Amino acid sequence: MSKGQGQGFGFGLGKMKELTEALKKAQQVQEGAKRLQEELEQMEIAGEAGGGLVKVILSGNQEPRRVEISPNVLGEGAEVLSDLVTAAMKDAYNRSTATMREKMEELTGGLNLPGL
């Protein structure tokens, strides 16, 4: 009988407890990420241009949903309309990116996971 038997592979009990806690936290994050993905798919985030004359709506995970164009802007010509749609797309993209970032910070916030 050697003195070191029962110690495992150099892991003391304290290290095993830390590892177990880390795994629990990782599982919580994984479950939260799944819920977050479902929540983002249901969200609608609108970007606007021209004071609301053009709106682009994306899901929370940036899938295009629809474009809404006010009849008032149709007489402005293709170039103006194209610029407004592009600006609304950028606005929607920026808003959805900010929303994703906020939700991820909420998810990982109090967990103190190393490397995140």
| Annotated domain spans of the chain | 14-109
pLDDT tens-digit series, residues 7-41: 455 556 677 888 888 888 888 888 888 888 888 88
- Bigger pLDDT: 31 or 58? 58
CATH code reported for the domain at 14-109: 3.30.1310.10
Task: Please say if the pLDDT value at position 47 is more than 70.
Answer: yes
pTM, rounded to two decimals: 0.69
Length of the chain: 116
For residues 13-49, b (16+ Cβ closer than 10 Å) or e, as one string?
A: eeeeeeeeeeeeeeeebeebeeebeeebeebebbbbb
Q: How high does pLDDT run on average in the chain?
A: 84
